[in-house]
Structure 1
Amino acid sequence: MSWKTFPKIELHLHLEGAADPAFIRGLAQEKSVDIGGIFDEEGAYKYSGFGEFLQVYEAATQALQSPEDFQRLTQSVLENLAEHNVVYAETFVSPDFCGGRDLGAWREYLHAMQEAHVEGVTLKGIVTCIRHFGPDKARETALCAAETAGDWVVGFGMGGAEDAGKAGDFAYAFDMAREAGLRLTSHAGEWGGAQSVWDTINDLRIERIGHGVHAIEDPKLVDYLAETGLVLEVNPGSNIALGVYPSLEQHPIAKLRDAGVKVTVSTDDPPFFHTDMTQEFEQLERVFGWGVDDFHALNATALDAAFCDADTKEALAKTLEN
């Protein structure tokens, strides 16, 4: 079966990280921004290891300088999602890269992003603070999120380097977002081990974990996740590309799912990791033998865990049935 036409839901997609290299290169040339060092001879993003990946990621965002740039970026991302029949996606977007966390500027960027549209794809935003930028900037990001919570901004999260500070340092920001009615997720357990997942659950009181794969190292944590239904946003292709696991055969997604943990599948930063949702499905079929029933089940889990409103979920459920 061709998985390209199979409807999909994606919950873990960084907007800036979904920018094709050619798109970023074109923007940089328009603005005379010199970021040539971040591309290899084939024109792909060039990095070695997670630390360098973060540097290249942040360098690429230098080409994104205006609300119009983000409108064009969002349009490009929507078109890529449509190509792989992703009918619903939630994208992480950072006010850090949209006007430097200034609320007035953030509103302008947000409006521009919402102008992008592709028939058949619903996109919602998760405002995301950057952990290695520190707790004070996270509070400013949370204020941007809280002041623009609504139909498009449906969640608040945290990305960046997991070893920067403690999860509890960011509790104020997450409390602010929670009080504004936003749903909460955070990266953990990608690099930090099972304890980072525990800390994030206990200190930030989130309902989804970005990555979370190292939870497999702690049987008590696996049991807790299965019992509570806390959802993992798993990104297998990303994990392999960055060396979190050496191969998909050694990736724990199937073991976690078999243990009753609710897992979803996403691409994270697809052009950086040379992946897309079709390829993710193809690889899971190749390695674990997953088929139509498994991917319907993944979609059901993702739809249930999505941060959008009930009416949107109802409409998506009908799309997924067709």
Structure 2
Amino acid sequence: MSELIDPALPKVELHLHLEGAASPAFIRGLAKEKGLDISGIFAEDGGYDYRDFWHFLEVYEAATSTLQSPEDFRRLVLAVLEDRAEDGVIYAETFVSPDFCGGGDLGAWREYLHAIEEAAEQAQNTMGITLKGVVTCIRHFGPEKARPIALCAAETKGDFITGFGIAGDEKMHHPKDFAWAFDCAREAGLRLTAHAGEWGGAQSVRDALDHLRPERIGHGVQAIDDLALVDRLAEDGIVLEVCPGSNVFLGVYPSFRDHPVDRLREREVKITLSTDDPPFFRTTLVQEYETLARTFGWTEADFRSINADALKAAFCDEATKRSLLDRLTR
């Protein structure tokens, strides 16, 4: 079957969980080094194994338990960025959580962050890919645990840490419970995004907009069930970080054909395309583009337009955007 879209097309990816981008082989290797038995999280074919979204969260955290030091995260960043570069990604933002990097302690977080930044700089020099970090609190850990995470983000805002967000189980707690954390990050000058509308319905998107006031929404696809909300997203320029393969793999939608990404675009909502946790969902960004092209008839011009919108919505400085725009439009 011939390719519809050039795999080398330059891409921007804004919704990527760092630990969730770790390949099974990478995690198995760390587990072996540390003498950890996490064999129960793998399927017979070697991939990650889970039943549903909530079991996925458990498997995700089990895999993350192998990442125990700044050096582990340095190696992880290099491995993840090598995979992204193979997909043609020239700019990526990754969700990172001090919960998994020092347990929310600011001093420990600084050590982990130094290792992550060091790897990102190395990858930029050797692979030509730029990475920025979005500190993320974990919703199902609760609003009290989100506060020190927001403080970690505020204290380390800079060239690398440019954003703040929330991820995890949308069915636990209300967005208003995390208003303090978002206000803290906002006051520090961080750009804001929030997971919503993946599992919590259209109302979860509305609640996130009303109480957290982000400029981007992670997923957000269930907004399609409330057309007044869809119009609000379009009119207010709220950008959706859409991950179609993730949504289909987890059963949010039964197929790509049923996924609302095309309808959202038709109603002039700005969307970006990402893989979320690619090895968990057995996907790559090249595969996502190819499937979307076959399903909706999108052309290279469509993907170039989506990537241009993603670059405009990126949480990086204008000089970085200008240099990347040259590469996107070649």
TM over 0.5: yes
1:173 aligns with 2:181: yes
Of 200, 204, 214 in structure 2, the residue corresponding to residue 192 of structure 1 is 200
What is the identity, as a one-letter code, of the residue corresponding to 1:262?
K
SS at match of 1:249: coil
Instruction: Report what 1:272 is aligned to.
Output: 280
Give 1:3 shift: 2.9
What is the identity, as a one-letter code, of the residue corresponding to 1:155?
G
1:54 aligns with 2:62: no
1:202 aligns with 2:218: no
Report if the CA contact (8 A) 1:24-1:60 is conserved: yes
Of 38, 41, 57 in structure 1, the residue corresponding to residue 44 of structure 2 is 41
SS at match of 2:241: strand
Report if the CA contact (8 A) 1:3-1:281 is conserved: no
SS at match of 1:95: coil
2: CA distance, partners of 1:36 / 1:128: 28
Report if the CA contact (8 A) 2:246-2:281 is conserved: yes
Count, aligned residues = 322
Instruction: Report what 1:25 is aligned to.
Output: 28
Of 229, 244, 266 in structure 1, the residue corresponding to residue 237 of structure 2 is 229
Report if the CA contact (8 A) 2:94-2:134 is conserved: yes
Q: Deviations over 1:63-120 (max 9, x none)?
A: 0000000000000011001111100000001110000000000000000011112221
Q: Stretches of 4+ moved more than 2 A in 1?
A: none
What is the identity, as a one-letter code, of the residue corresponding to 2:84?
L
SS at match of 1:248: coil
Of 72, 75, 78 in structure 1, the residue corresponding to residue 75 of structure 2 is 72
1: CA distance, partners of 2:167 / 2:102: 18
1: CA distance, partners of 2:17 / 2:181: 20
Give 1:34 shift: 1.3
Q: Deviations over 1:156-205 (max 9, x none)?
A: 00000001110000000000000110000010000011100000000001
Of 9, 13, 18 in structure 2, the residue corresponding to residue 10 of structure 1 is 13
Of 111, 121, 138 in structure 1, the residue corresponding to residue 146 of structure 2 is 138
Report if the CA contact (8 A) 2:244-2:256 is conserved: yes
1: CA distance, partners of 2:165 / 2:35: 32
- Percent identity, aligned pairs only, is 66
Report if the CA contact (8 A) 2:5-2:289 is conserved: no
Give 1:292 shift: 1.1
2: CA distance, partners of 1:286 / 1:312: 32
2: CA distance, partners of 1:167 / 1:146: 19
What is the identity, as a one-letter code, of the residue corresponding to 1:55?
E
What is the identity, as a one-letter code, of the residue corresponding to 2:266?
D
Could you tell me the TM-score, scaled by structure 1's length?
0.99
Instruction: Report what 1:302 is aligned to.
Output: 310
Report if the CA contact (8 A) 1:33-1:62 is conserved: no
Report if the CA contact (8 A) 1:129-1:142 is conserved: yes
What is the identity, as a one-letter code, of the residue corresponding to 2:268?
G
What is the identity, as a one-letter code, of the residue corresponding to 1:58?
E
What is the identity, as a one-letter code, of the residue corresponding to 1:161?
D
Could you tell me the TM-score, scaled by structure 2's length?
0.97
Specify every segment of 5 or more residues in structure 2 that has no aligned partner in the other structure, as ranges: none
Of 103, 109, 118 in structure 1, the residue corresponding to residue 106 of structure 2 is 103
2: CA distance, partners of 1:3 / 1:130: 36
Instruction: Report what 1:87 is aligned to.
Output: 90
Report if the CA contact (8 A) 2:218-2:241 is conserved: yes
Give 1:2 shift: 4.4
Q: Deviations over 1:253-292 (max 9, x none)?
A: 0000000100110000000000111001000101000011
2: CA distance, partners of 1:239 / 1:315: 32
SS at match of 2:12: strand
Report if the CA contact (8 A) 1:238-1:273 is conserved: yes
1: CA distance, partners of 2:147 / 2:310: 28
Report if the CA contact (8 A) 2:219-2:243 is conserved: yes
Report if the CA contact (8 A) 1:154-1:307 is conserved: yes
Report if the CA contact (8 A) 1:9-1:88 is conserved: yes
Give 1:321 shift: 1.4
Instruction: Report what 2:159 is aligned to.
Output: 151
